[in-house]
């Protein structure tokens, strides 16, 4: 649920540096994937864990928390914020995604600094499911998370 400006900052701030054309292609691809979250019928149910550290990053502009606040009002989107005080020290270091298809096939995707992995291995998927489940137990609940993000929008957090 990234704004174009925030996605552009994330993509262009990587090493090794990407050329402008690659950056724009990746931003467009991210935005197209996001459109699938809200444009599908029936909508795809999603839960996002948005670490407080990521929300406070200097890369986050004013529009990004506004976008997250808007997204949290959608029926198919649940945002949860693991706060500094409640976060696990061994949480995933990059984006981690669990996917279940209509045919109930389950996949886990993890992106780290030097590698990305998509797996359907049941043991790996179970470990990622358990890890993200434990993180969710320590995160602010969805209502608390929405209030936290709203305070960021208003500049009080």
- CB of 49 closer than 8 Å to CB of 136: yes
Q: Judge whether 34 lies within some domain.
A: no
Q: Judge whether 124 lies within some domain.
A: yes
User: Mind listing the pLDDT tens digit for each residue in 120-148?
Assistant: 999 999 999 998 999 999 999 999 999 99
Q: Judge whether 54 lies within some domain.
A: yes
- CB of 118 closer than 8 Å to CB of 107: yes
Q: What is the pLDDT of residue 15?
A: 81
What is the extent of the structural domain holding 58?
A: 44-153
- CB of 134 closer than 8 Å to CB of 88: yes
Q: What is the pLDDT of residue 137?
A: 92
Q: Judge whether 85 lies within some domain.
A: yes
Q: What is the pLDDT of residue 92?
A: 67
What SS3 state is found at 47? strand
Instruction: Flag residues of the chain having pLDDT under 50.
Output: none
Q: What is the pLDDT of residue 156?
A: 63
Q: What is the pLDDT of residue 86?
A: 78
Q: Judge whether 23 lies within some domain.
A: no
Q: What is the pLDDT of residue 80?
A: 95
Total domains in the chain come to 1
Q: What is the pLDDT of residue 35?
A: 85
Residues paired with 118 in a beta bridge = 109
**b/e code 85-119 from CB counts within 10 Å (16+ = b):** eebeeebbeeebeeeeeeeeebbbebeeeeeeeee
Q: Judge whether 95 lies within some domain.
A: yes
3/15 Cα distance (integer angstroms): 21
User: Mind listing the pLDDT tens digit for each residue in 110-119?
Assistant: 887 677 889 9
Residues paired with 107 in a beta bridge = 99
111/128 Cα distance (integer angstroms): 12
Q: What is the pLDDT of residue 113?
A: 66
Side-chain half-sphere CA neighbours of 81 within 13 A? 22
Q: Judge whether 52 lies within some domain.
A: yes
């Amino acid at each position: 649920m990234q704004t174009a400006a925030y996605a552009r900052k994330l993509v262009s701030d990587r090493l090794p540096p990407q050329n402008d054309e690659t950056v724009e292609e990746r931003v467009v691809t991210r935005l197209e994937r996001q459109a699938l979250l809200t444009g599908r019928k029936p909508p795809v149910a999603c839960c996002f864990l948005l670490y407080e550290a990521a929300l406070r990053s200097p890369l986050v502009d004013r529009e990004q928390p506004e976008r997250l606040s808007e997204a949290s009002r959608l029926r198919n989107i649940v945002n949860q914020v693991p706060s500094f005080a409640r976060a696990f020290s061994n949480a995933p270091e990059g984006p981690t995604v669990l996917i279940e298809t209509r045919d109930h096939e389950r996949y886990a995707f993890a992106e780290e600094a030097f590698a990305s992995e998509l797996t359907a291995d049941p043991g790996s998927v179970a470990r990622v499911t358990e890890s993200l489940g434990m993180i969710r137990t320590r995160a602010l609940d969805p209502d608390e998370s929405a209030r936290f993000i709203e305070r960021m929008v208003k500049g009080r957090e």
